[in-house]
Chain A
Amino acid sequence: MNNPTVRVLYIDDEENNLQAFKASFRRMYEIYTAISAAEGLKILENIDIHVILADQKMPNMTGVEFFKSIVETHPDPVRILLTGYTDIEALADAINHGDIYRYITKPWNDLELHNSIKNAYDAYKAKIDLRNKITELEKTNDELNRFIYSISHELRAPLVSVIGIINLVKMEGLYDSSGEYWGLIETCSNKLDYYIQKTLQYYKNTKDIPDHSEVDFHKLVNELIELHAYSDKDTAFNVSINQNVKFVGDAFRIEVILSNLISNAIKYQKSNEQNKTVNIEIDVNDFEASVSINDNGLGILKEHLEKIFTQFFKSKMHHGSGLGLFIVKEALNKINGTINVSSNIEDGTTFKITIPNAK
């Protein structure tokens, strides 16, 4: 087996001990010795040491004092304290402030000391490996974030330009000039945009840690209605919001949840319904916000109710993406909310959700 080079620094004011240590272990480790703490520090500053052994009883600076003094400057090497007598106070001090890995009594037993050094090196290696992994992960994470960020901008910006051009075509009265082609382009563009937005929402939901900010449901719901009713002016909204207390929660996720539910309520209407209606009721107290979103739309088949929150579930009749309600459910899970749905083909659908108030 190819053993790694383990670099050990041994500090002791007795030259004899240093020599004995060298004699016993020089074939196993790369050994550095120092006759005082000051000299040990010098070595430590110049050589990448893995394991430090220090005698407790030394003039000028004790082993524990030495370990304490390097906690900040040299946190990585694993420390072993050697002492000729059992001094409980020094021991407690060493554990509490010196970051000591082992405590070994003198005279040492070669096998015991060898094992301790071996274990200490393993601990050292584990610590360094873990740190490298964390750095690596942070880097990957960072790259992923930047990737997602640039996708959201670079991919979406030209698409939004296309939608803008279709708009202009409408404004100039050319929309019907090429048969149904403009309409088809518009449908495809909107679909693509929808998928980009949902993918980002999903990604952000899985990644971001819940944030706590104040949520004004009046403002939020009005903004969302304005946003989604834009494409469909036929729907009447009855909004009743009872918020007299401060609500603190994850503003992004709450917006995602309400936005998806409101947009669904508008989207899945009966086309022959004369009075398309969406009722939104929100009640906020010190503990939670209860939200009910009800529509007189298409309703959900009983056999589908179980599946609507699963990813990519779509009913054959409606052209959903299979992402909206899945994201709603995932977002609620993240912020400890609940959702219930009741629906039938005659009367439409009601979603009831609760979101805890984190104030």
Chain B
Amino acid sequence: MPNKTGKVLLIDDNDIDLKINSKVIKLSDFFEEIILCQSGEEGISYISKNLDNPDLLPDFILLDIQMPEMDGFEFLEIYKNFPKTFLDNCKLAILSSTLDFGDIKKAEANPLVIKLLKKPLYPNELQELLNKHSTLLGI
């Protein structure tokens, strides 16, 4: 079980889902801090402005796919250009309700995505994933 020292960044345009998922994470006590962003753009700008402030950067990101303007895949296109030092220390999983085979394949093929989690978010699924990557997460 990971110690709760890390930060998780949730990116989802749906505020109800943001609320639900942050509550699930809070109740499961996996992370010390939960950062909420309501769009891909907001996520990108949060990371960019804190690149010099590693203390504020997330260790783990849960990214939605279907979002207006910048969707999850567009987010990843920009995200992959962040410095390697950051990318190496932060893991990213997709959290989506998609049933679209194309989306699923595309997500699984992306080297930056460690897993595609399906909504609703179950604590034990998340825990399993975090355990698997705990060494990578450094938490």
A interface with B by C-beta (< 8 Å): 149, 152-153, 156-158, 160-161, 163-165, 167-168, 171-172, 197, 200, 204, 252
Contacts and interface: CB of A to CB of B under 8 A. Distances in A.
Contacts of A164: 17, 20-21, 24, 119-121
A172 B120 contact: no
20 contacts: A149-B100, A152-B99, A152-B100, A157-B14, A160-B97, A160-B119, A161-B14, A161-B16, A161-B17, A161-B119, A161-B120, A164-B20, A164-B21, A164-B119, A167-B120, A168-B24, A171-B28, A171-B123, A172-B27, A204-B101
B98 A165 contact: no
B20 A168 contact: yes
Contacts of A171: 24, 27-28, 123
A200 B100 CA distance: 9
B121 to A, nearest CB: 7
Given A153-B66, A160-B119, A161-B14, A167 B100 contact: no
Most buried by B among A158, A160, A164, A167: A164
B133 interface: no
A156 B97 contact: yes
Interface residues of B, number: 20
A157 B14 CA distance: 9
A157 B101 CA distance: 16
Given A157-B14, A168-B23, A163 B120 contact: yes
Given A164-B17, A167-B120, A197 B27 contact: no
Nearest to B120: A164
A156 B14 contact: no
B26 to A, nearest CB: 10
Contact of A168 (B27, B97, B99, B119): B27
Given A164-B20, A165-B20, A168-B24, A157 B97 contact: yes
B82 interface: no
B86 interface: no
Most chain A Cβ neighbours within 10 Å, of B24, B120, B122: B120
Interface of B: 14, 16-17, 20-21, 23-24, 27-28, 66, 97-101, 119-123
Nearest to B98: A153
**Which of A168, A172, A252 is packed against the most chain B CB atoms within 10 Å?**
A168
Contacts of B120: 160-161, 163-164, 167
Which 5 pairs across A and B sit closest by C-beta, in order of nearness? Answer: A164-B120, A160-B97, A164-B20, A160-B119, A163-B120
A174 to B, nearest CB: 12
Nearest to A154: B66
B38 to A, nearest CB: 15
Nearest to B17: A161
Contacts of A200: 99
Given A161-B16, A165-B20, 7 more contacts: A156-B99, A157-B14, A160-B120, A161-B14, A164-B20, A164-B121, A172-B27
Contacts of A168: 20, 23-24, 27
Contacts of A161: 14, 16-17, 20, 119-120
A328 to B, nearest CB: 17
A200 B103 CA distance: 14
Contacts of A152: 98-100
Nearest to B121: A164
A153 B96 CA distance: 10
Contacts of B119: 157, 160-161, 164
Nearest to B66: A153
Contacts of B100: 149, 152-153
A200 B97 CA distance: 13
Nearest to A153: B66
B122 A167 contact: yes
A153 B97 contact: yes
A170 to B, nearest CB: 10
A149 B98 CA distance: 9
A156 B121 CA distance: 15
Contacts of A167: 20, 24, 120, 122
A167 B21 CA distance: 10
B30 to A, nearest CB: 13
Contact of B101 (A160, A172, A197, A252): A252
A158 B16 CA distance: 9
